[in-house]
Amino acid sequence: MYAWLFRSLPGPLVVQILLALVIVAGIVLLLMQFVFPWLSQYSPLNDSTLESMTFPALGRVEGTPA
């Protein structure tokens, strides 16, 4: 598949390499901006089993002096 994509790009070798790099950068950008944030809501890796140790109203952590 990658060979077919590379062969179908127009221009000499240098232009094909630059176009391939632009395509890869575009795919990475789309993944980072849209796909991965959307998938993160379905990932169990962000779920925490520990309760928060902070008091939001006081802005301090439990067990520290005031």
Structure tokens at 39: 């998938």
In a domain, 56, yes or no: no
In a domain, 64, yes or no: no
Q: How many domains does the chain have?
A: 1
Q: What is the phi/psi pair of residue 33, to 5°?
A: -85, -35
In a domain, 17, yes or no: yes
In a domain, 26, yes or no: yes
In a domain, 6, yes or no: no
Per-residue model confidence as pLDDT tens for the chain (66 residues)? 778 888 899 999 999 999 999 999 999 999 999 999 888 888 777 666 666 556 555 555 555 565
Three-state SS string over the chain comes to CHHHHHHHCCCCHHHHHHHHHHHHHHHHHHHHHHHHHHHHCCCHHHCCCCCCCEECCCCEECCCCC
In a domain, 58, yes or no: no
The model carries a pTM of 0.60
The residue range of the domain holding 28 is 12-40
